[in-house]
Amino acid sequence: MAERVLLAGRDGPLPSSPMKGEVPAGASGTIEDRTSTLHLPLHGGGREGAVSISQRKKTPLRFADLATYILLILGAVIMLLPFAWMLSTSLKTRGATFATPPQWIPDPVTLDNYATVFDSVPVGQFLVNSAFVSVTSTALMVLFCAMSGYAFARIEFRGRTLLFYAYLATLMIPQQVTLTPLFIIMNWLGWTNTYQALILPSSFGAFGTFLLRQFFLRLPREIEEAAFIDGAGYIRIFFTIAIHLARPALATLAVFAFMASWNSFLWPLIITTDTSMMTLPLGLSALQGRWSTVWNVLMAGTVIATVPILAVYVFAQRFIIKGMSHTGLK
């Protein structure tokens, strides 16, 4: 006997589907009317119910959604215009930089500006310094913030909440306020013009601790309880379970930390005086003259500094979205 499909909300069963090319008995009206009343079974033909083809049509775009999309597109265009102008200027000759009206497409296109950048300053050394400082400080930031975030989220100890909010309050202190005492400490340790002076101050952060604490609070405690029964402690649970479940949040923090370290300018300016220890943003400042600036060459250097951080962000953007959704941040 042919299997019958039940329609949700009806008492009686529907007859089995006709063969291809047949018209159901008793059907009337046009072909369009009959096809609009056909029903498809849910869940691959099960008896749980069926849905009408007309109900599967897409919901029409509302005015509010259309306005939102237009605003988002306009915002994206406004954000991309400076990058487009930077790239365009880096490919122009010096005379075409301030041409009126402005030319978005360079004519002629030249790569001499990039060659001038590499001839003017040791860009290779600057890139090595920036990459080493950024990668190292990012790894330390992720490790230390993950450990502190897990402790604040899972380990019960006296004064935990008060200590967390006191640490979080440091976000309200401007960075410029801490530069002088931080420089005094580094100078007392003899760490001026060293990698450790560039790396250690950016290896901690209240924001990273807060971000990962919010993530660890959402993890089910049943996982930890099962590990406790098996004899695991907090340290083993952190490195074998929690750290793996927190990969989206860790990737989000890593991107933020890498961007902040790569773009840092003020602290390297204070703590380094040797050209061999300068990072890329600081080294490229030499392209800006005291009385005049060759803007097309400066824009070429800016493109060189932007490409690595842009590549990192494009690669990790899906982790950022996933990490934000898990931590509850907007």
The rounded average pLDDT for each run of 10 residues, N- to C-terminus, in the chain (330 residues) is 43 48 48 44 46 54 83 92 90 82 82 88 91 94 94 90 92 89 92 92 90 89 86 88 88 90 91 90 81 84 88 76 54
Query: What does the pLDDT read at residue 320?
Result: 67
| Separation CA 151–CA 272 (nearest Å) | 35
DSSP run (H or E) holding 90: helix 63-90
| CATH number of the domain bearing residue 223 | 1.10.3720.10
User: How many folded domains does the chain comprise?
Assistant: 3
Specify whether 153 is located in the same domain as 70.
Answer: no
- Asked if residue 297 and residue 283 are part of one domain, the reply reads yes
Q: What is residue 220's DSSP assignment?
A: -
Same domain, 128 and 73: no
Domain boundary among 79, 110, 141: 110
Distance CA 330, CA 320 (A): 11
pLDDT score at 222: 86
Residue that terminates a domain, selected from 48, 76, 110: 110
pLDDT of residue 326: 53
One domain, residues 146 and 286: yes
Q: Map residue 51 onto helix, strand or coil.
A: strand
Specify which residues 50 forms β-bridges with: 41
d(CA 169, CA 209): 12
Q: Are residues 247 and 136 in the same domain?
A: yes
Cα Rg for the chain, rounded, in angstroms? 30
pLDDT of residue 132: 95
Tell whether 93 and 28 lie within a shared domain.
Answer: no
* Helix (H) or strand (E) run with residue 130 in it: helix 123-154
Residues 158 and 280 in one domain: yes
Host domain of residue 235: 117-327
